[in-house]
Amino acid sequence: MGRAPCCDKANVKKGPWSPEEDATLKGYIQNYGTGGNWMTLPTRAGLRRCGKSCRLRWLNYLRPDIKHGGFTEEEDNTICTLYSQMGSRWSFIASQLPGRTDNEVKNHWNTKLKKKLLTINNEKSPPNNPTLYGSTPTTSLICVPKAETYSFGISASQSQNPTDVIPRLSTKFNSLSSDPIPLYCPELINVSEVGASSKNSTCVFSLSQESSCISNSSSIGLVSSVSMAGNVEVEDSKALVDFSVGSPYGLGNSLYLADFTYPEY
């Protein structure tokens, strides 16, 4: 027994919105507002749509203050900076960009900015010289040249049962820059999930317990415990590693570019 559906699936239309539906929804909200209840709005407005669908259509497309069109370089930098600090908090990031929606920002990141980051690193980073990505010095996106890569290897756990194999990631993430927080994490990191999509191989990992990590940043000193969760997306043997790092000293978050080798089981 699962959760009750939010609407009568048999009687709601799905798929792209027609201009007539857009006009109906827009007209209704402009005249009467949402009434604080999206679930009943389609019925009140005379639309055969799910309330969630109406909400999404209004917020992402029909709102009068939506900005359509390409992103400026300034917006790109804002997204990169905030993503490096906050992770995929798209609603927050979008709130810092007037007229942009979380969906639009998320799509823009996934289709353009992420690739741009990889491309820029490949083309412009001289060996042995970590560089900041972006035009503003405040950004904390770090492109790590191949020679300084944070290589890591994965070895399988001792389990023989494929269903409960938890590969373990033994590595050190040791940023050469003082910002964000450089870390040395000698502990084994449990890989909670390894999978592959049509485009990228993905490896999701997290520390199963608190780990002692020593920061070599003089401004930070000793970080006694850090929890981490990260994603790795692999493309052409490079990995964009996205770490959310929590510590008693607050939160840090950084993107690293690293070489990646597939585990040998």
Partner DNA sequence: AAGAGTATCAACCGCTCATGC
Partner DNA sequence: CGCATGAGCGGTTGATACTCT
Of residues 77 through 96, those in contact with DNA by CB under 7 A are 88-92
Could you write out the DSSP letters of every residue in 180-225? Answer: S---B--SEEEEEEEEE-SS-EEEEEE-SS-B--B---TTT-----
Write down the least CB distance from residue 262 to DNA, Å.
Answer: 19
Of residues 140 through 159, those in contact with DNA by CB under 7 A are none
* Residues in contact with DNA, shown as a per-residue x/- string from 24 to 63 under the rule CB under 7 A: ----------x-xxxx----------xxxx-xxx--xx--
Write down the least CB distance from residue 94 to DNA, Å.
Answer: 7
257, 114 Cβ separation under 8 angstroms? no
Q: How many of the chain's residues bind DNA (CB under 7 A)? A: 40
Options 96, 106, 192, 263; binder of DNA; rule CB under 7 A = 106
237 sits near DNA (criterion: CB under 7 A): no
In the chain the beta strands, taken as DSSP E runs, fall at 131-132, 142-143, 152-155, 168-171, 188-196, 201-206, 227-235, 238-247, 250-259
140, 117 Cβ separation under 8 angstroms? no
Options 96, 103, 149, 216; binder of DNA; rule CB under 7 A = 103
For DNA, the closer CB: 5 or 153: 5
Alpha-carbon Rg for the chain, nearest whole angstrom, is: 23
11 sits near DNA (criterion: CB under 7 A): no
119 sits near DNA (criterion: CB under 7 A): no
Write down the least CB distance from residue 101 to DNA, Å.
Answer: 8
* Calpha distance 210→99 (Å, rounded): 40
192, 157 Cβ separation under 8 angstroms? no
55, 35 Cβ separation under 8 angstroms? no
Write down the least CB distance from residue 88 to DNA, Å.
Answer: 4
166, 157 Cβ separation under 8 angstroms? yes
For DNA, the closer CB: 187 or 233: 233
The residues binding DNA (CB under 7 A) are: 2-4, 6, 13-17, 34, 36-39, 50-53, 55-57, 60-61, 88-92, 102-104, 106-108, 110-112, 115, 197, 199
